[in-house]
């Protein structure tokens, strides 16, 4: 369940790291030093009350969830989750959202776990 909004946010995040090659290939002559920069996903700011889909756009807070479930739009609402306590960085993937070649399961590729009760 990779969400479209998540993907665009992730790409934006990658593009903002202008010090890294976007495609990860560093074939240019120069420093052969391995890149050891940790990367993690941006923290979501809203979560759907019904399906748990996360959002990164403040304009979506308190709006209807945009997820499609079985062809129907989710009837949940994007509740704000702006507090630092609302999220815990996923330890399984160290916040990257990826494990090996696949998506991290515990956080569903988000890199963060919603922990507010
Ligand atoms: Zn939803
Ligand atoms: Zn994870």
Look at residues 56, 52, 54 and name the one whose alpha carbon lies nearest to residue 42. Answer: 56
Q: Which of 23-32, 52-61, 76-85, 100-109 has the lowest average pLDDT?
A: 23-32
* Span from the CA of 93 to the centroid of ligand 2 (angstroms): 4
State the distance from the centre of ligand 2 to the C-alpha of 12, rounded, in angstroms: 19
Single pTM value for the model: 0.64
In this predicted structure, the answer to whether residue 36 has a pLDDT above a threshold of 70 is no
HEC profile of the chain: CCCHHHHHHHHHHHHHCCCCCCCCCCCCCCCCCCCCCCCCCCCCCEEECCCCCEECCHHHCCCECCCEECCEECCCEEEECCCHHHEEECCCCCCCCEECCEECCCCCCCCEEECCC
What pLDDT score does 18 carry?
45
| Residue 100 CA to ligand 2 centre (angstroms) | 11
Confidence of residue 65 (pLDDT cuts 50, 70, 90): very high
Res 39: pLDDT: 80
13-17 mean pLDDT: 48
Judged by its nearest atom, the ligand closest to the C-alpha of residue 47 is 1
pLDDT given at position 34: 58
Of the chain, the percentage scoring pLDDT greater than 70 comes to: 67
């Amino acid at each position: 369940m990779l969400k479209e909004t998540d993907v665009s946010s992730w790409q934006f995040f990658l593009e903002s790291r202008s010090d890294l090659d976007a495609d990860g290939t560093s074939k240019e002559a120069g420093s052969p030093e391995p890149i050891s920069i940790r990367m993690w996903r941006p923290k979501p700011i809203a979560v759907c009350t019904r399906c748990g889909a996360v959002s990164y756009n403040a304009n979506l807070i308190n709006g209807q969830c945009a997820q499609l479930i079985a062809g129907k739009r989710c009837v949940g609402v994007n509740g704000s989750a702006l507090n630092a306590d609302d999220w815990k960085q996923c330890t399984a993937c160290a916040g990257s959202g990826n494990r090996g070649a696949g998506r991290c399961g515990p956080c569903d590729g988000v890199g963060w776990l919603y922990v507010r009760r």
